[in-house]
């Protein structure tokens, strides 16, 4: 690649070697690349995931339900190694045709019900078990406002800022500046909301916090992209207060470990099939 101005061709063609860190798993077509059935455990919920921020959203939710003692929410968490293309196996594509983690299979119903996209999974579990979403119309609406705020804003943080700042094969000023401006605007939106509320959607902890914390809490505390200094994260004091409080929850700490295969060994639980898996 060069610093010369790029002129798009009349018809785009796929360069398999272009794309940085994840070039080997990015492609312009959908569907499976190989036959591979997914494993099934004994619990009602089967999760297929990796401990990226999107995956952590769901494992936090499941561990929060476990913390409440809801036996029907017991789950098996199977590792999907996205760098190795596990998400393109036929079994995974059957659960999520979009080939992205996380994906959930609810075997407590007949036939089993697939749920994909992290926001959809959070909402499904909240409604199924009646927790972590307000029951009154105003509270529920505000919670969903922020859940969908994250779903709409997150790609600009991850696929935009994160890609060009951390993963692109070369650093270019324009995209980094463009997405940095947007991420800082998003952090300011969140900071202003948290200046007036303990949690994102109000006074109660909810799926809105679970969706937003792994991304924006992670960025603010330098756990995602190692960009806290670059973004002046210290200036978003209300985000940092909230990030620390949510991060102290036992279920959040467990949820961060599930399907994790990097970092400190005592923080890794590549697969989770029972509470004893956390007894390192």
Q: pLDDT tens for residues 160-198?
A: 999 999 999 999 999 999 999 999 999 999 999 999 999
Please indicate whether residue 35 or residue 27 has the higher confidence score (pLDDT).
35
Which distant-in-sequence residues (6+ apart) come within 8 Å of 72 by Cβ? Answer: 44, 108, 129
- Eight-state DSSP code of residue 114: E
Query: What digits encode the pLDDT tens for the residues 55-90?
Result: 999 999 999 999 999 999 999 999 999 999 999 999
> In this predicted structure, what is the pLDDT of residue 19?
61
229-236 average pLDDT score: 98
pTM higher than 0.85 for the full model? yes
In the predicted structure, residue 150 carries a pLDDT above the cut 70: yes
> In this predicted structure, what is the pLDDT of residue 26?
87
In the predicted structure, residue 243 carries a pLDDT above the cut 90: yes
Unique residue bearing structure tokens 């596990």: 86
> In this predicted structure, what is the pLDDT of residue 24?
72
φ and ψ at residue 172, rounded to 5 degrees: -125, 135
> In this predicted structure, what is the pLDDT of residue 1?
44
18-44 average pLDDT score: 88
Which distant-in-sequence residues (6+ apart) come within 8 Å of 171 by Cβ? Answer: 164, 165
């Amino acid at each position: 690649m060069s610093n010369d101005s790029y002129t798009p061709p009349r018809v785009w063609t796929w360069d398999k070697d272009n794309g940085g860190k994840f070039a080997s798993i990015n492609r312009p077509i959908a569907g499976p690349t190989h036959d591979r059935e997914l494993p099934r455990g004994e619990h009602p919920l089967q999760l297929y995931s990796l401990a990226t921020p999107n995956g952590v959203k769901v494992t936090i939710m499941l561990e929060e339900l476990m913390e409440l003692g809801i036996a029907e929410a017991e789950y098996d968490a199977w590792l999907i190694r996205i760098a190795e293309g596990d998400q393109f196996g036929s079994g995974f594509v059957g659960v999520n045709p979009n080939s992205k983690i996380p994906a959930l299979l609810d075997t407590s119903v007949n036939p089993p019900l697939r749920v994909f996209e992290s926001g959809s999974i959070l909402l499904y579990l909240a409604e199924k078990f009646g927790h972590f979403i307000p029951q009154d119309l105003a509270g529920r609406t505000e919670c969903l406002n922020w859940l969908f705020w994250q779903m709409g804003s997150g790609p600009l943080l991850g696929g935009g800022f994160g890609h060009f700042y951390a993963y692109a094969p070369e650093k270019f000023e324009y995209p980094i500046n463009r997405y940095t401006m947007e991420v800082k605007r998003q952090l300011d939106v969140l900071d202003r909301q948290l200046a007036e509320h303990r949690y994102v959607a109000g006074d109660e902890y909810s799926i809105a916090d679970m969706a937003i914390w792994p991304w924006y809490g992670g960025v603010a505390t330098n756990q995602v992209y190692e960009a806290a200094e670059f973004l002046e994260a210290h200036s978003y004091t209300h985000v940092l207060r909230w990030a620390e409080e949510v991060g102290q929850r036992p279920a959040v700490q467990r949820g961060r470990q599930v399907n994790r295969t990097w970092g400190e060994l005592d923080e890794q639980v590549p697969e989770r099939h029972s509470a004893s898996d956390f007894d390192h």
